[in-house]
Structure 1
Amino acid sequence: PTTKGFDFWHCNSAGVYSGIVANGNGDCSDTTNINTTFLRGLINTNDEGVAQFTTIFPSHYTSRATHIHVLATMNATILPNNTLSGGSISHVGQLFSDQSLISEVELNEPYASNTQELTTNVDDTIMSGEAASMDPVFEYVLLGDEVSEGVLAWISIGIDASASYDVSPAASWTENGGVSDSNSGGIGGGMGGGAGHSAAFPSGAAPSGASPSLFGTLMP
């Protein structure tokens, strides 16, 4: 079968990404992190273009505000192990949360124990780039009286299905585990590309007519 799907990924409550071993991504001496895949997922859209997923609220890391990465793939093939092959990447971007919500979450453990320097939305240059052509901030409601009871968040993204971007993954997942890509350019992606975007592309990414494979890739 083919798909119109979204990859979502973000860091954990300590500001650490799975599948990445690099300075600034937690304990860089812990090489076992290359073999983890937490907080990364692939979701297909339904006939109305809606995708939904359940995750934890991401935290921050030095120089970056709290955000979630999103990558849209058109017409990829779903393999038996539920990964993708082929297709074309039509959108690469980042989504953000309201600063007041972030501040409320950060008062709770384990987020309060995150010792990395906090960057707010207004000081995040990538958010500024995204906001130049769209509203990248989730709408949300609390699921109870306290933020610890959960948050329901939603956003609409316009995508040019004819666009195609080439990306450089931070690592690849193989039958023997994770393998780092020394050319990936860091632990976090840059601004997105897609409908309505005039911003720069993520590190190592540029428009391309090729149809890249997403099989086994881990984006930073």
Structure 2
Amino acid sequence: MRFTALWNVCLVGMTVPFVFAHPGEHEKRDARAEMMKREFRQHTRRGLQRCAKRFESTGLNARAEARRRSLYDLHRRRLRARDTDDVLNTSHLVNDSSITANSCADSLFSSSSTCVLNPEGETGPYYVKGELVRSDLREGQDGVPIILDIQFVDVSTCGAIEGLYADIWNCNATGVYSGLVAEGNGNTADTSNLNATFLRGIQATDSDGVVSFNSLFPGHYSGRTTHHHMVAHLNATVLANGTITGGTVPHIGQLFWDQDLIYEVEATSPYSTNTVTITTNAEDRVFSDETAGSTSDPVLSYVWLGDDLSDGLLGWATVAVDTSATYDPNYSFVYTSSGGVAESGGGSSSSSSSGTSGSPGSSNSTGPAGASGTPPA
């Protein structure tokens, strides 16, 4: 069995406006936004330091351990911040041969771990509104299977956020996103990809603020390192067609994987068929933004589920959210009862203490799915 050191990830919503493009996703900045970011980091750092003891006293950590034992085994975490160089130079691999699948929780998950503050992430241009509420996102796609276990906590109250809808998406093994046709996203002549829904889905958090997804390790495309996208919805309503509508968006973020693990995965098929040059974590602007100023370690904690990558990985993160923030995430396509439709909308992903988000899925139902796309040219 193979295991990795378990460094927990806490990501905190920021109040910073962004504008996006793809590939590479360039953003506009201004001095006021940078000042707001610094002030928010100070506020949230104090909040998370206060939360650490409450996570223990209320049993939130203990229940997280029990839940992850059912996925693989237990883990334990503590809170602190890291900077970009520290994150990049940290190896998450454990080489202790005495650890086995039957090891107790204390020996397997007793490593000191991190809770980090994260500037609000980018939506990116490939967010598709109206995706389905479901936990299995694979749809027969080839690649390394992963289980994502993500917990959301309120940075102000230190409590778990129940009923939050986590909207997750990533590209497939050859760097193609489902649900759209665009330059830089596989074969632009393959219009069937508009109706595809692979590696996209939404789940509601339970009483401990937890969602779990069955997905695949992302591939790569020009200008970006390997990553997952995430949008959090509060007070949304589930429609009869299996999508959500209404509510607000208090968090937008991205999650990453260790660079050495990325190289291992990229050496396997079908990842290796993608001839686009790999952008590393160290070269990725979004990774740098999310780890700058000793405030973030957005790399997923993970363990191997067997002796080979084909057996899959279990990865997890704890996401600390400012529930008073409100964002209007950009989108370029909407999934409807007739399939995907090009329809750009959303704001600049700026936040405020009031206002509303978009209403994903208001006219959607389960449509065609399964197009695999082709590797980028």
1:136 correspondence with 2:295: no
Q: How far apart are the structure 2 equivalents of 1:217 and 1:176?
A: 10
Amino acid at match of 1:156: T
1:206 aligns with 2:346: no
Total equivalences in the alignment: 199
1:161 counterpart (323, 326, 348) = 323
> What percent identity do the matched residue pairs reach?
47
2:308 corresponds to 1:146: yes
Equivalent-residue separation in structure 2 for 1:181 and 1:78 (angstroms): 22
* Unaligned segments of structure 1, at least 5 residues: 185-202
Work out whether residues 144 and 150 of structure 1, in 8 Å CA contact, stay in contact via their aligned partners in 2: yes
Number of the residue aligned with 1:7: 167
Q: Which residue of 2 aligns with 1:111?
A: 271
Higher-Rg member (1/2): 2
What is the rounded CA distance, in whole Å, between the counterparts of 1:110 and 1:160 in structure 2? Answer: 39
Tell me whether 1:47 sits opposite 2:207 in the alignment.
yes
* Counterpart Cα distance in 2 of 1:152 and 1:217: 34
Q: Which residue of 1 aligns with 2:38?
A: none
Q: Which residue does 2:50 correspond to in 1? A: none
Distance 2:213 2:334 in 1: 23
Residues 144-202 of structure 1, C-alpha deviations (whole Å, 9 max, x = no match): 11222111111111101111101121201222221113568xxxxxxxxxxxxxxxxxx
Alignment of 1:64-103 (within 5 A): 64-103=224-263
Residue 187 of structure 2: aligned partner? 27
Amino acid at match of 1:103: Y
Using the alignment, how far apart are the partners of 1:5 and 1:182 within structure 2? Answer: 22
What secondary structure does 2:212 align onto?
coil
Q: 2:337 aligns with which of 175, 180, 200?
A: 175
Alpha-carbon deviation of 1:33? 1.0
Q: How far did residue 214 of structure 1 move?
A: 1.7
- Runs of 4+ with deviation above 4 angstroms: none
- Please give the alpha-carbon distance, in whole angstroms, between the structure 1 residues aligned to 2:235 and 2:250: 10
Q: RCO (CA 8 Å, sep 6+): is it higher in 1 or 2?
A: 2
- Say what the alpha-carbon RMSD is for the aligned residues: 2.0
Find the aligned partners of 1:36 and 1:176 in 2 and give their Cα distance: 11
Distance 1:86 1:130 in 2: 28
Offset at 1:139?
A: 0.7
- Normalising by structure 1, report the TM-score: 0.85
**Would the alpha carbon gap of residues 21 and 4 (structure 1) be closer, same or farther in structure 2, given more than 3 Å must change?**
same
Bigger strand share = 1
Tell me the distance in 2 between the aligned counterparts of 1:11 and 1:217.
Answer: 25
Change in 2 beyond 3 A, CA 1:29/1:80: same
User: For structure 2, which runs of at least 5 residues remain unmatched after alignment?
Assistant: 1-161, 365-377
Is 1:215 the counterpart of 2:377? The answer is: no
Give me the whole-angstrom Cα distance separating, in 2, the residues matched to 1:179 and 1:120.
32
Q: Find the partner of 1:121 among 281, 285, 305.
A: 281
Task: Give me the TM-score of the superposition, normalised by structure 2.
Answer: 0.50
Which is further off, 91-100 or 172-181? 172-181
Residue 8 of structure 1 aligns with an amino acid whose one-letter code is I
